[in-house]
Amino acid sequence: MEIRTYAPQKKQGLVVVITGNGKGKTSSAMGMVLRAAGHGMKSAVIQFMKGDLYSGEWDGVKYLGGLVALTATGKGFCGIEGNPYSHAEHRKNAQDAIALAFQTMDTADLNLLVLDEINNALHLNLVDLSQVEAILERRPEHLHLILTGRDAHPHIISQADTASEIHEIKHAYRLGIEPQPGIDF
Amino acid sequence: MEIRTYAPQKKQGLVVVITGNGKGKTSSAMGMVLRAAGHGMKSAVIQFMKGDLYSGEWDGVKYLGGLVALTATGKGFCGIEGNPYSHAEHRKNAQDAIALAFQTMDTADLNLLVLDEINNALHLNLVDLSQVEAILERRPEHLHLILTGRDAHPHIISQADTASEIHEIKHAYRLGIEPQPGIDF
């Protein structure tokens, strides 16, 4: 059997939104980063809110031949039980992440930019709709932009080329099963 | 800020089903493989049906320090326009993939096994419900098992610890945009 390779006549950057309450949003973004690396494409990942709790992708991307830069800017999920930081502190972190996103988009040879949990950050007023709109406007035409996180803003979904809502059918933690490495973090 | 590392009191393998018609099923499985690699965990990926068309994850996983074995067993999507192979040929490939799944589960130090598109293969009668049930029964307790593909069988979902349905809000191809490397393949 011959293995074919698809080559689009027109290459273009896509805006992809991954939202919903189910498991798989950050995972699918990281899978696209892995896939892009297989094509020799360079990615950057900016994690909003995440940063206080280790997750395997932080080391996973280090394997990818220097093709991926990951920055976790946050201090955990704003407003959840046990998180000790104020809304103002979370907002400051998220604003730093927005600045980093603009700076990163100017990297000439970047192919894919993941803004992980930015939908959630917008929903929680850690960033403003106008800021996310400005990122979409500034995006170079060749750059893929992936925006993850629950509660995506309808206007951001309207700007996307591809958008998925991941619905939770069930989740292990509801069965009292603790988060497991490799799957949940 | 101190970075914490979660360590579950009880480590256990999870059965994860990722289904639905939206973008992100294989991507999320590959993201979990990347995350697992960050933890030093070994994965195997068996792709049902896929195999006739190059996808970036085939080379992406080669970066992961020898922690991942990926096998694409198929000849494309059974029944879609332009696919020249008969149902019998597709079924033979899928049956080979089932045999490989059983063989792979016996690998002592394997932490995570992805059966990509197996839900779809079951829906298309390329594999039998009894065969997928037998895989679930044979699964070692420590092994994470991820089953992807649209149209997951309700009985398989009932056996899962975590299950997500990825709903398509929109997809670039409906706008006439061709599949793009790094995102779609």
pLDDT of residue B13: 98
Interface test with B, best of A162, A168, A173, A185 (most B CBs within 10 A): A162
Give per-residue pLDDT as tens, A25-77: 999 999 999 999 999 999 999 999 999 999 999 999 999 999 999 999 988 98
Provide the shortest C-alpha distance from residue A45 to chain B (in Å).
13
pLDDT of residue B78: 86
User: Considering CB atoms only, which of A30, A53, A61 is closest to B4?
Assistant: A53
- For residue A101, the number of C-alpha atoms closer than 13 Å in the C-beta half-sphere is 31
Give per-residue pLDDT as tens, B9-66: 999 999 999 999 999 999 999 999 999 999 999 999 999 999 999 999 999 999 999 9
**Residue B155 at interface with chain A, using a CB cutoff of 8 Å:** no
pLDDT of residue A1: 75
User: Considering CB atoms only, which of A16, A24, A62 is closest to B164?
Assistant: A24
**Residue B26 at interface with chain A, using a CB cutoff of 8 Å:** yes
**Residue A100 at interface with chain B, using a CB cutoff of 8 Å:** no
**Residue B170 at interface with chain A, using a CB cutoff of 8 Å:** yes
Pick the CATH number of B15-166 from 3.40.50.10860, 3.30.70.20, 3.90.76.10, 3.40.50.300: 3.40.50.300
- Number of CB pairs, chain A paired with chain B, less than 8 A apart: 288
This complex has an ipTM of 0.97
Provide the shortest C-alpha distance from residue A65 to chain B (in Å).
7
A21: closest chain B residue by CA: B164
User: Does the distance separating the beta carbons of B170 and A169 come in below 8 Å?
Assistant: no
Give per-residue pLDDT as tens, B91-138: 999 999 999 999 999 988 999 999 999 999 999 999 999 999 999 999
